[in-house]
Amino acid sequence: MSIVSVQPLGIELEVAPDQTVMAAAVAAGYGWPTVCEANASCGTCVSIVEEGAENCGPMPADEEETLTRTLVPLDGQRRLACRLTVTGPVTLKKRGVHKAE
């Protein structure tokens, strides 16, 4: 398990090696902004990697395609939470993450 801190909400998520950050958030009872329901097509879940970029998993082709289509720079600092896996501690900034009702 790796710990992902999510700001500005200030939560810490435990993320399994084969789990995406968004899936871990949902499993922990949080909502993450999405329109496509985690299909890597809307770009709504894009998050800023503030720390731990070296612990972020490789970018899959569908994530790269969506970031490119939505004019998000492929700089490794912006990732789709619905495709992001981690291998160590990461701090993400994403507004709109909230406790699910």
Q: Per rule CB under 6 A, is residue 82 in the interface with ligand FES?
A: yes
Q: Per rule CB under 6 A, is residue 6 in the interface with ligand FES?
A: no
Find all residues with CB under 8 Å of 75, minimum gap 6, and list them.
Answer: none
Closer CB to ligand FES, residue 25 or residue 45?
45
Site for ligand FES in 10-49 (CB under 6 A): 34-36, 38, 40-45
Closer CB to ligand FES, residue 45 or residue 90?
45
- Taking alpha carbons only, the member of 58, 56, 34, 53 closest to residue 45 is 34
